[in-house]
Amino acid sequence: MLSTDLQDQLIAYIVRESRHIENRGYIGLSAIGDCPRVIYDRHMTGDHVSPEARIKHAWAYNIEGIMTEYLMQMGLYRRVSEICLHGGLVQGHPDGEINGELLEIKTVEVSNFLPIPPRLPNRVFYQVQAYMHYLGYKRCHVVYISRDIFHIRVIGVSYAPAIGQRVEAKVARLVQSVQSNTRPSCECGRCKE
């Protein structure tokens, strides 16, 4: 076998097995912090990403699985219920629970991208607020792992009821937009008409 053939086969396999779903059929709470128009468009037309992005997703899922395994071996990890709202039109898939508190695991490309506590990126902040809101948790541990040197950083976040209510209202608006097939207004200022 030629090395280039092996390389092509490896890449094709990883891309195929990346667990990225282009057309999910539901609105994911993991991206509820995005602009409503972006969420709507992604739901209606799919989330198309490059093969390179699929490979990054595959590595991220694998690292997340390894971290979950470590937490299980430490006797800390417990699975939690998935979130299914509005007949399955809205879903969330939390990573687990540690000692009665929610767990979310994230990877970043390089350690320089690790968030500095107590701040989280908005997208992750809204994701964990949504999960806590719908599952009734008061606290969440967000475990970050860098994919370059495998640096680990854990950031704790508390539930903010006002944010939870804002998420719930946004979900209701998105559900209505999807059901009426009406594209919502842009809230980020970057969407193209």
> What pLDDT is attached to residue 146?
95
Decide: helix, strand or coil at residue 152.
strand
Q: 0.85 exceeded by the pTM?
A: yes
> Residue-wise over 172-182: b if at least 16 C-beta within 10 A, else e?
eebbebbeeee
pLDDT, averaged in runs of 10, over the chain (193 residues) = 86 77 84 95 84 85 94 96 96 96 96 94 97 98 95 97 97 96 91 77
CB atoms within 10 A of CB 138: 11
| Domain spanning 3-180, CATH architecture | Alpha-Beta Complex (3.90)
> What pLDDT is attached to residue 21?
67
> What pLDDT is attached to residue 12?
83
- 44 close to 182: Cβ distance less than 8 angstroms: no
Provide the 8-state DSSP code for 148. T
Question: Minimal CA–CA distance to 123: which of 57, 33, 42?
Answer: 33
